[in-house]
Chains A and B, each alone.
Chain A
């Protein structure tokens, strides 16, 4: 179990501890940097604060990102920031396909099959088990989505909505 020092405190962390700490938590908006945990994108500071109990003011995004990539979580930079497309850095395997390929909405939605999502462009803003949770998250973070729907993975699930 890797030991790391954050804001003067020593922590023994492993990937499972991090994944478990995020269970049932919704990711906050991604402003620039993100890490991928449990198939979802998270602000690095949100993750590290959750895991360590530290105040977010006690460490920087780069410290959080470095700590989490050391544990093997892929990190990247969101599309639209500094003109970059999503690119996953550091730990293999890459979560979003080969580096340099443009992520389509369908691929971005793949980790969220079965969930309600709010999307803007090719970006998934939030995914949750009900539209109520999605709407609450949007209101809490003052975000506007382009579309809200449930992600399904079969033709039958879509055509079921239309008269046969």
Chain B
């Protein structure tokens, strides 16, 4: 499956440097896959805690951890959820741990080692502006 790097508008005109973003659908929120920044340096896969209730994910009693991200103190609650990626033709689903974080002022989720990279072979073609992923056999 191929994901083109995501371009966003820059404040002064033009575009920001395109970033590797994969769209990951939470079970229960299939109509709105969450854009997640691919982060090979991140241990966890993280998303905004706002998304959990929208997908019907109950975080009460979940394991939590406090951590700093981008200089911001954030609390994450762990849930094991079913995730799906698709390019419109192929689709792959897997169960993985995701940390739902509050506050989460960031524009994307983070796709890290646990939850995402452990499940795929990822080829990043940054110069060409895309990445390919295939399920890890």
Contacts and interface: CB of A to CB of B under 8 A. Distances in A.
Contact of A163 (B6, B41, B50, B51): B41
Interface in A119-150: 130-132, 134-135, 138-139, 143-150
B67 to A, nearest CB: 10
Interface string B33-72: 1110101011000001011001000000000000001111
A6 interface: no
A134 B15 contact: no
A128 to B, nearest CB: 11
A149 B108 contact: yes
Nearest to A105: B7
A131 B51 contact: yes
Interface stretch (B23-31, B76-84, B89-97, B128-136): B23-31
A122 to B, nearest CB: 10
B50 A161 contact: no
Contact of A107 (B9, B33, B48, B105): B9
A155 B8 CA distance: 10
A135 B54 contact: yes
B110 A109 contact: no
Interface string B100-114: 000001111010000
Contacts of A104: 7, 15
A154 interface: yes
A134 B32 contact: yes
